[in-house]
A = this chain, B = another copy of it.
């Protein structure tokens, strides 16, 4: 589908060596939904009592899997019991009408039967082409095959089975503790644009052995997503299928947790955010056509919302992103993107830096700035933009990638 099959130049050196999570069994199979000779169905099974939380796309146009998940995941209380997650790559099952809903029903039913659980304990997600009806037969057969074995496959195989235009599998993990008891957080993700709805979507599934009730899990996930997955953008487009879920198997032997603000959760909260941040950054690093990983920090804003909007205005500007692709310290375009956000700023106090070099301040180019001062920074793969808008103390950081010929090739040329 894409002419660009090489691994992104921004990819990590290797998939991390991730440990198992007690109470989670991973399995993959080759259903041949779209791709040949690779796994394209992933099933995670969970021990009884597993609690779950989920954050789903806020788009008004959604696929049948999202319809199902919206039924079983309460945005305030999460999913009170989760026994299985079934994900397929190659067909997003979006805009497929009643037949699409039948496929989800058959998938959920097959998993519930194989595991011996209720249907509402089975979460589903899908990524791939839109508008093509998918027969449930191959997925159902794959589920039965996977569930016939209790042996867990590795994280890398699981992460690889959910890839579409991704150029590398994405995993991240952390070890932390709750009340002195060690717990693990392990996650995988896929995505290489915020969306390319006929082939790509952002999916991420995170697992922990911590014992945390689903309403608290839901709160923790919602907070952690704000500064991680909701602070990245590749092309400003939002998928019909974006899904992030967190499963807690409760196998760790710590005392019960009764509220999200519990001090014993402080380290867990930090590590959860770190894992989500790592996965989110990997999605940006696999951005379609990306050659630069860009961090945009905005400070001096009137409030956090304004800071994030200004940062997103910069991160989504095609002219800023093409300038970075061209290794051009074009601070004029950054100033333009700040201005078009329409948020409160003081243009006379505006300060724009790249790679810790101040390019512009006080409404004009910085007196001692010369392009040679940041030439090395611009040639590197990691670009830092910092803007102080001079009116307050609020800050925000977002991450994006550059806009290159590669993006056009992936998204415009593949039919030619």
> Which residues of A pack against B, CB within 8 Å?
57-62, 94-97, 99-100, 129-133, 193, 195-198, 235-240, 316-319, 322-323, 325-328, 330-333, 335-345, 347, 350, 360, 362-365, 402-405, 407-409, 411-416
12 A–B pairs (Cβ distance < 8 Å), ordered by A: A60-B344, A61-B347, A61-B350, A62-B339, A94-B335, A130-B335, A197-B335, A236-B236, A237-B317, A237-B337, A327-B415, A405-B409
> How close is A11's CB to chain B, nearest CB, in angstroms?
22
B414 and A326 within 8 A (CB):
yes
Hey, which chain B residues are within 8 Å of A316, CB to CB? 236
Q: Are B319 and A195 in contact (CB under 8 A)?
A: yes
Give the chain B neighbours of A59 by CB distance below 8 A.
336, 339-340, 342
In the complex, A339 Cα to B58 Cα: how many Å?
8
Q: Are B97 and A336 in contact (CB under 8 A)?
A: no
Majority SS of interface residues in chain A?
loop
The oligomer's copy count stands at: 2
Q: How far, in whole Å, are A237 and B341 apart by their CA atoms in the complex? A: 10
B363 touches A97 (CB 8 A): yes
Nearest residue, chain B, Cβ from A131: B365
B408 touches A404 (CB 8 A): yes
> Complex: how many Å from CA A405 to CA B404?
8
Q: CA A344 – CA B59 in complex, angstroms?
A: 11
Q: Cβ of A326 and Cβ of B413 under 8 Å apart?
A: yes
Cα distance, A152 to B147, chains bound together (Å): 84
CB distance from A59 to the nearest CB of B (A): 4
Q: With CB as the reference atom, state the residue of chain B lying closest to A332.
A: B130
With A60-B344, A237-B337, A326-B413 given, name 18 new contacts (CB 8 A).
A57-B339, A58-B342, A61-B345, A62-B339, A62-B347, A129-B332, A131-B332, A132-B365, A196-B319, A197-B336, A198-B333, A235-B318, A235-B319, A240-B336, A326-B414, A328-B415, A403-B412, A405-B405
Distance A338 CA – B323 CA, assembled complex (angstroms):
29
Q: Which B residues lie within 8 Å of A341 (CB)? A: 60
